[in-house]
Amino acid sequence: MIPFELDAAEVRVLGCLAEKDLATPDYYPLSLHALTAACNQKTNRDPVVQYTEADVHAALHSLEQKGWVQSLLEPGNRVSKYGHCLVERLELRRPEQAVLTVLLLRGPQTAGELRARTERLYDFPDIDAVLHSLRRLAERQPAPLVKELERQPGMKESRWAHLLSGEPAQLPAAAPPAGHDRITALESRFADLEELVRAQEERLSQMEDALRRLAAVSGETGGDP
């Protein structure tokens, strides 16, 4: 059996990389700064955390040693970026990646919650399609990736949890408030917009650096060709 022993910071980092890969592929892979911001989002995260860049860098180093992430240095870019290896290592299909990603980011959830929260990552036609992906992940060999938890009293659906941190604890969950799915969808779109703004700011900063370097070179040569 493959040992899955990721700690909370590693799970959050891996989940964020997988999320941005699906939700905003034009801005993936992520720099350390962008990844830290993604980890500390107040939407689509449970629990909400306040990691420093040092915390995220330590988690990245550990994940890289374990074969879950890789660092990439794009041509013309002095900043290293990071990508996940979930798909290659676990041979995941896109719907399976979407489900596993949201479980990494938000902990145990019902199939109904997962369908609402994966909307921007993969468009499941119905809850049965979500359950199909969950069962595929639960039946993976040599080791399952998710597990169906015992249904809690008062809940219509059982929850599912990922197994990348070992066996999950059985914790009661509060019933979602009215309009929960709609709020979740709006939060997801808002989080995407925040990510796009951060990525544009980072690109603008890189362009400004390049222009300053070009101006410095031009000044040294007198500005003549």
Domains in the chain: boundaries: 8-167+180-202
The helix-helix angle for 53-66 and 32-39 (nearest 10°) equals 100
Domain 8-167+180-202 has CATH 3.40.50.1440: no
| Helix, strand and coil in the chain, % to nearest 5 | 55, 10, 40
* Cα 76 from Cα 69, distance rounded (Å): 22
The average confidence (pLDDT) of the chain is: 86
SS3 91: coil
> How is the beta sheet containing 159-162 ordered, strand by strand?
109-110, 159-162, 146-148
Confidence (pLDDT) at 111: 97
Residue bearing tokens 């145990």: 108
Q: Is 219 helix (H, G, I), strand (E, B) or coil?
A: helix
At 79 the pLDDT is 87
Contact 46, 39 (CB under 8 A): no
pLDDT confidence of residue 4:
83
Using a pLDDT cut of 90, give the percent of the chain over it.
65
Output the six-digit token pair for 151.
């249904």
Q: Are strands 81-84 and 109-110 parallel, antiparallel or unpaired?
A: unpaired
Please check the confidence at residue 205 and state whether its pLDDT lies above 80.
no
213: helix, strand or coil: helix
- Long-range CB contact pairs, 212-218, < 8 A, 24+: none
Distance, CA of 19 to CA of 25 (rounded, Å): 9
Q: Tens of pLDDT along 37-94?
A: 999 999 999 999 999 999 999 999 999 999 999 999 877 778 899 999 999 999 999 9
The lowest-confidence range among 122-131, 144-153, 171-180, 207-216 is: 171-180
- Provide the residue type at 73 as one letter: L
* Residue 104 backbone zone (phi > 0: left; psi -120 to 50: alpha; other: beta): alpha
Task: Give this prediction's pTM.
Answer: 0.77
Per-residue pLDDT, averaged over 8-23, amounts to 98
Give residue-wise pLDDT tens across range 174-195. Answer: 445 545 555 655 666 666 666 6
**From CA 179, how far away is CA 100, in angstroms rounded?**
24
pLDDT at 221: 65
